[in-house]
Structure 1
């Protein structure tokens, strides 16, 4: 029996975020170049997206390329950008067939021109879809995101548009790249690394974290369902105690 069959359909996280880690190490273990691992990782993206759409996850955010990734060897970075352009262009028809809307967060305008154009084209061509929203974190840095939000809010205060007392958690959230998107209830990281790596630092404050030793190219639908199942078997207290949570659930 698939793990999917054991899921509580009334307790599916609205937003799942994934750090897709281990492409390069997986490729090296196969005696291949790192880019081979990235190419094989595209199929795992399809698997995760299919799983998300099947159980009606509303938002799926994938950490595709961080600002720190520019420090990798030029050959790998160039290959990643070419792969990204090709993949986005090839997936538009499939996204529309499955009612998936594409979005992106990060310093998108600083991506190579061809990559930027293909990304914006795909976002435009899928904008009317109503199913799962696939969000690609590209040229993304959470520290930069938070710093930018602080600067925007500080400028509004300087211009007299707001008072210090107006600054709230919600105001900060409204100035992040993810404005209007609910925070992830679950974050998955593959490859066995136990870090968040500058990913959605503000948004993950109360997210459940699921770490798996599986390298990203080996991540399949069943692994996604297992992460959801583990999530469903945790108690999310948000700073409260179990008794308070149980009482709230009884009164709901």
Structure 2
């Protein structure tokens, strides 16, 4: 996120941060019975692994054994900080966003599958009885994208409007499996050539209207589309166009 295009709106920058990151800092309010010197409601921050839905709404897989989940069950209001400053000489020049809203359980199987593709290690405990997927209903977000670029943004400008893109959400798994099973070389070219990310073994983990997510072991990368796609066929056209660009070097 070092070179943020000046043409991007604050909401688009925040959405890009959510899609590009795989972890965040979750802040919940301490529940009754866990009083501190400040009393019930004192802030409690913790590291969480984050995925996102096709609309970029954050997704977290949480255990009821964790303090942050116990806090959420008492009061789902929370904040989530997404940090895009990694690798910068001066982190304060980079983009980061604090999302405010509510985290609540979802039984959406498609979102669970999307989260597990993003975080393969989650597959071994996603079925445990104490684990559930939570989706954040974003109410607003605060962006700091370097000195002088500070904005409060409403949810309507952060999340992607999926109207007309429902087919892609339903077809995503098939698109991802097809690319990994039949076009692994293309996925490697996306990472190595278009994103300048070295190494072999890159796999696609997700496709949404604005781009595709890639992963290699613990590394992740975000491949942005030049124009939005709405279904498997338009995603195929865009992915073919991008691999042609990569082969030209």
Question: TM class, shorter-chain normalised?
Answer: under 0.3
- Larger proportion of helix: 1
Q: Which has the higher contact order (CA 8 A, sep 6+)?
A: 1
Query: What TM-score does the superposition give when structure 2 sets the normalisation length?
Result: 0.25
- Larger proportion of strand: 2
Query: What TM-score does the superposition give when structure 1 sets the normalisation length?
Result: 0.25
